[in-house]
Amino acid sequence: MAPPLRLSLLQLRQKINFRLMRMVVVVLYMAVTATVLLYHFHSSGLPLEELVVGEEGAEVPRGEGFVVVGGQPEDFRRNGFQDPGVPETVRQFEALVVDGAGEGGGAVHLSPEEQAGLPAIEKVWAFNKIAGDKVSLWRKLNDIRSSQCKGLQQDSDLPKASVVIIFNNECLSSLLRTVWSVLDRTPKQLLHEVVLVDDASNNTDITTLLPLYIQTRLPPKVGLVRTPSQLGLIQARLAGARAATGDFIVFLDSHCEATKGWLEPMAQRMKEDPTVVQIPRIDMIDSSSLSYYGSGGGSVSVGGFTWSGHFTWESLPAAAAASRRPTDPAKTATMAGGLFAIDRQFFWKVGGYDEGMTGWGGENLELSFRVWRCGGSMEIHPCSHVGHIFRSFHPYFIPHDSHGINTARMAEVWMDDYKRFFYMHRQDLVGSKDIGDLTERRALVDRLQCKSFKWFLDTVYPHKFIMDEQSVAWGRLRANNGAKKVCIDHLQRDMAHKLTGYDLGEYPCHPFLGSSQYFVVSKVGELRNEYMCGEVSNTRDNNKPKTKVRMAACNQKNQNQRWELTPLGRIRHLASDTCLDMGEGEAGQEVTLAPCGEARGQVWTFDFYEEGKDHWRPQLP
């Protein structure tokens, strides 16, 4: 064959192949689209989820202390809601529901009149109760789990759950939606019981209507316990845990909605290891529209803490994030505390809750540190989704400073010497009688042979910044320009774990070392406090250029956050080659930077220096 002919034939063949390839791509694209569409219709068009409670029938074994138990072995929804024995008050409550409101996790819309009355309602309930009452107690939710999570397999013989729900004057519809979501979305062989704990409510919806509802609408595996007087979250949970007889306990807030497949992955993990506490992914139910917001994929947030004794959310450390599969539970140092599952025997073995804690708060960090230090661990399971209404305030009584006092109890028993950082924020609680007796809690540490808090920091939470261990110098940071003496101060602008940026200021030195004046130059070269690092920002003040120190979330890769402390007491910003300068030294002014020089206002002294650097402490006049 002549070469030109062969060439054109080759070209032709290439063209054909190209067309073929294009066709293949188009067909593939169509197939994928069709699959996605079909899949989408399939998951959003699910019929009402299987109603499992009616099949249960007979009594279940129960613990002590129930004042009312469910009286309906049959699911009343199966016979078209016909039931002549139901009291009128229950029917009136049920009649508040508006067909279709909030279905599929959507928003509820109010009429203009309802909208007008809303502020008064929200002041009492801390959420939109009008909308809440309209939503079906068994509204359908979309299955937002990732496809990997949907494909997760579990054993057939999983341990059984006691779901414990405590409340004080909870809105009845949110409470019962929590209960129905658990009944309808937990495989019946997994649900041992639902333990409701009324912590001495006085609202008749809870004192009168709830018991009637339980008797006439709920199955025997739902039981109600009452505390003799309002004991607070911790004591009420203990009452619920004492009544519980299942293999593991799931504590849920009383304004949640469990979603499809929420319990199985957590039960599986606890079957594999009864010492691992399981925490579901907490999705948001909007407190004004009752919309359900959640996402099945992406990153997992885990728990941290501040030295002031507060829980924080943070992103999973990069190394852990890189090595995990999307369905793997994520190790977490702490938990928010409202929603979690724990093996019942392990819960009691590890010390339950601290009986000396009252009211609300502090118990979540206490349990977190204790579990880790005494042979257990904690994980957030990315495949378990539970919705929660985040309310703007606590619509119930909390004794004064119970969070602070409970946290001091926790710090005394579980933070070893590191409690110094907590007391830096709460000088008023040092040696306080309010903390109460700790003998029994301290005995736990020996009895369970718990590891030290240092072990916890090193092993479980190694990225926590420890000011006096990881710094060149630390404490109050003072200067004296000859006219005025000042200390670096966050001027109450530090929003702690919210990591909101602010400009660093100056203030007369406090007589003690408190958190507002506790700063360090770290060994890696940051000018920082517990979680915020200084960087230089050039702005304008009254139209004049001004250089300030902006405090921002620490980021070791950010060159703007690099500083050095010199042996002569200057604090030099590397990138701009300027030095920290107190300027006029007016109380409440912002600290500035200036070309490094001999100015007295550029000589800074810390309270403490690392070993071998004590001679770096300049003598201030």
Amino acid symbol at 142: N
Cα 384 to Cα 246, 254, 321, 528: the distances in Å are: 20, 18, 18, 37
Segment lying near Mn ion (by CB under 5 A), choices 207-215, 251-259, 462-470, 513-521: 251-259
Strands 571-573 and 563-565 turn out to be antiparallel
d(CA 285, CA 129): 13
Task: For Mn ion, give the closer residue by CB, 174 or 332.
Answer: 174
Segment lying near Mn ion (by CB under 5 A), choices 43-51, 223-231, 330-338, 439-447: 330-338
d(CA 370, CA 453): 9
Closest distance of CB 273 from Mn ion, Å: 27
Site for Mn ion in 206-245 (CB under 5 A): none
The Cβ-side half-sphere exposure at 267, using a 13 Å CA radius, reads 26
The Cβ-side half-sphere exposure at 481, using a 13 Å CA radius, reads 17
Task: For Mn ion, give the closer residue by CB, 282 or 487.
Answer: 282
Using CB positions, name the residue nearest to Mn ion: 253
Judge whether 566 and 582 are in contact, CB under 8 Å. Answer: no
Closest distance of CB 256 from Mn ion, Å: 8
Closest distance of CB 391 from Mn ion, Å: 6
Task: For Mn ion, give the closer residue by CB, 76 or 390.
Answer: 390
d(CA 182, CA 154): 19
d(CA 233, CA 238): 9
Please report whether residue 257 would count as binding Mn ion according to CB under 5 A: no
Task: For Mn ion, give the closer residue by CB, 159 or 280.
Answer: 280
Beta bridge partners of 564: 572
Closest distance of CB 549 from Mn ion, Å: 38
Segment lying near Mn ion (by CB under 5 A), choices 37-45, 248-256, 265-273, 275-283: 248-256
Segment lying near Mn ion (by CB under 5 A), choices 335-343, 456-464, 530-538, 565-573: 335-343
Segment lying near Mn ion (by CB under 5 A), choices 141-149, 331-339, 379-387, 577-585: 331-339
| 137 closest CA partner among 106, 109, 178 | 178
| 467 closest CA partner among 399, 427, 428, 420 | 420
Beta bridge partners of 553: 532
The Cβ-side half-sphere exposure at 565, using a 13 Å CA radius, reads 29
Task: For Mn ion, give the closer residue by CB, 76 or 396.
Answer: 396
Please report whether residue 253 would count as binding Mn ion according to CB under 5 A: yes
Closest distance of CB 340 from Mn ion, Å: 13
Amino acid symbol at 361: G
Beta bridge partners of 489: 505
Closest distance of CB 281 from Mn ion, Å: 15
Cα 368 to Cα 228, 305, 328, 365, 435: the distances in Å are: 28, 10, 20, 5, 20
- Residues that bind Mn ion (rule: CB under 5 A) add up to a total of 2
Closest distance of CB 336 from Mn ion, Å: 9
Task: For Mn ion, give the closer residue by CB, 219 or 338.
Answer: 338
Closest distance of CB 24 from Mn ion, Å: 53
Task: For Mn ion, give the closer residue by CB, 251 or 518.
Answer: 251
Please report whether residue 581 would count as binding Mn ion according to CB under 5 A: no
Closest distance of CB 249 from Mn ion, Å: 17
Helix axes 172-185, 210-217, angle to 10 degrees: 30
Site for Mn ion in 337-366 (CB under 5 A): 338
Task: For Mn ion, give the closer residue by CB, 163 or 408.
Answer: 163
Task: For Mn ion, give the closer residue by CB, 240 or 583.
Answer: 240
Distance of CA 440 to the CA centre of its chain: 29
| 555 closest CA partner among 509, 499, 510 | 499
Segment lying near Mn ion (by CB under 5 A), choices 161-169, 252-260, 303-311, 362-370: 252-260
Segment lying near Mn ion (by CB under 5 A), choices 260-268, 333-341, 348-356, 474-482: 333-341
Segment lying near Mn ion (by CB under 5 A), choices 18-26, 246-254, 539-547, 609-617: 246-254
Task: For Mn ion, give the closer residue by CB, 257 or 494.
Answer: 257
Cα 41 to Cα 45, 103, 259, 532: the distances in Å are: 6, 16, 18, 47
Closest distance of CB 169 from Mn ion, Å: 14
Task: For Mn ion, give the closer residue by CB, 403 or 572.
Answer: 403
- For 356-366, letters b (16+ CB in 10 Å) and e give bbbbbbbbbbb
Task: For Mn ion, give the closer residue by CB, 284 or 430.
Answer: 284
Closest distance of CB 168 from Mn ion, Å: 12
Closest distance of CB 388 from Mn ion, Å: 6
Segment lying near Mn ion (by CB under 5 A), choices 35-43, 152-160, 219-227, 250-258: 250-258
Task: For Mn ion, give the closer residue by CB, 274 or 280.
Answer: 280
Cα 290 to Cα 38, 106, 205, 285, 540: the distances in Å are: 28, 7, 21, 5, 44
Cα 86 to Cα 67, 69, 215, 338: the distances in Å are: 19, 16, 9, 33
SS3 118: helix
Closest distance of CB 351 from Mn ion, Å: 24
Residues lying near Mn ion in the complex (CB under 5 A): 253, 338
